[in-house]
Structure 1
Amino acid sequence: MKIGILGSGLMGAKLGALWAACGHDVCFSYSRSTAKLARLAGDCGGTSGTVAEAVSGADVLLLAVHWSRIDDALQQAGDLAGKVVLNCCVPLNDSNTELVVGTTSSGAEELAKARPKARWVSCFNTIPSESFRPVFDRKGQTPSPQVFTYGDDAEAKEIAGTLIRDIGFEPLETGGLRNGRFVEPFAMATVELAYVQPGGPALTYRFEKLRG
């Protein structure tokens, strides 16, 4: 699968490298430093380029930029018509301390309004990036940790599920994009658990229904 990574921070860099390790064709884009993009690509055997180049050849895109850069990234990406876009962004302020969208809308819904022709799926936005490599290294062990996954396009969610399982997680179906109003605040709880409380940031979660 050809995957375009829009964003070169921790989320985009780590997920891109792990998908490349799974044999996917990964293109890194969107950074202030073209040298950084080239290094990310070189480290995992991928490629790098402009946002337009990453979008044009991709089967799937990962949007992994800070919320303050969303408008710029989308402008460079174009209308994204027909593209499956995995969104791992949380709508945070510049200091990453407060949600700037919530209760009556969500970051997921605002992205869908901005690019209504794209096939949006939100995932990985409630999991610290520090957990990606440990989970990948243990892939195949059961039970797998879960990732909240929400969107309105069933086929796009199936594609997202394949890529989620490639990392070693299981997608946890969490409804449509509207449910981002409730899922995105959960990301703030994982910040508390991963980065404030002791034990390190490599946090995962798994929900189980009790039967019988």
Structure 2
Amino acid sequence: MQISVIGTGHIGGTLARHFASAEHHVAVAHSGDPADLGPLLDDLRGCGQAVSPAEAARIGEVVVVSVPFRAYADLPTDGLAGKTVIDTTNYMPDRDGHIPELDEDRTTSSEMVQAHLRDAHVVKAFNTMRWDHLRDYHHEAGAQVRYGIPLAGDDIQAKRCVQQLIEEIGFAPVDSGGLATGGRRQQPGSPAFLSDQTADQLQATLSAP
């Protein structure tokens, strides 16, 4: 599969490496010069290319968004119609500035990303685990203990795609619901955030009232 990753910080870079290890071809993009991504491309071992964000959106079958939340409105929208977009962002007021709709819990950050990328199918995932744990805590298929990764979305097929990718890189997918309900269950300050739980434990956490 051709996967694009827009944003190559800790989370985006880690996911790019995991997806390349799972034998996907990965296009990586950030806000700077694509030529600056040489060290990351070396880690992708021939399974990656550096492109612009606009090109990443166009060529990716699945597009991972891993930018600071404040930059979501700058994401390209062309070329994303019907595609699965994985939103790894978290709203952090101290970093992103205060957004009244989020501060007052009138919506979720992923619903705002979905509104911007209106023709795509946004799935919230990979936002609850520390980046170094995401790097180190994956296990091969058949391992007795696999850490859970929650995902939220409104499109069934898009969620199935993301569930498969989560499994391929050594974690267990746990459905937290739609973007509204599930997004709230995954956001900073929720019991699931930074919890590092097995799939069964995470499911219980997400199901708790």
The normalised TM-score by structure 2 is 0.84
8 Å CA contact 2:69, 2:96 repeated in 1? no
Q: How does 1:67-106 map to 2 (within 5 A)?
A: 67-72=69-74, 74=75, 76-78=76-78, 80-95=80-95, 101-102=102-103, 103-106=105-108
Cα distance in structure 1, aligned partners of 2:119 and 2:39: 32
Note if contact 1:51-1:77 (Cα within 8 Å) is conserved in structure 2: no
The 3 A distance-change label for structure 1 pair 183 and 99 is farther
- Which SS does the other structure have where 2:173 is aligned? strand
Aligned counterpart, 1:153? 155
- Partner Cα distance (1:79, 1:67) in 2: 21
Inter-partner Cα distance in structure 2 for 1:13 and 1:99: 27
Q: What is aligned with 1:122?
A: 124
Count of residue pairs brought into register by the alignment: 196
Change in 2 beyond 3 A, CA 1:118/1:89: same
Q: 1:127 Cα deviation (Å)?
A: 0.9
1:182 aligns to what?
A: 185
Structure 2 segments unaligned to the other structure (5+ residues): 205-209
Q: Note the alpha carbon deviations across 1:82-127, whole angstroms, 9 max, x for none.
A: 1110111011235379887252210011111112211111011111
Give the whole-Å Cα distance in 2 for the aligned partners of 1:78 and 1:57.
11
Give the superposition deviation at 1:3: 0.2
Identify the residue that residue 35 of structure 1 maps to in structure 2: 35
RMSD: 2.4
The CA deviation at 1:139 is 5.0
3-state SS of 2:82 partner: coil
Q: 1:97 to 1:132 in 2, by over 3 A?
A: farther
1:190–1:151 Cα change, 3 Å: closer
Residues 11 and 64 of structure 1 are in contact (CA less than 8 Å); yes or no, is this contact kept in structure 2?
A: yes
Name the aligned partner's letter for residue 21 of structure 1.
S
Identity %: 28
Alignment of 1:132-211 (within 5 A): 132-137=134-139, 139-179=141-181, 180-186=183-189, 190=193, 204-206=196-198, 207=201
1:143-167 Cα distance to aligned partner (Å, 9 max, x none) = 3111111100001000000111112
Letter in 2 for 1:60: V
Counterpart for residue 195 of structure 1: none
Change (3 A) 1:149 1:99: farther
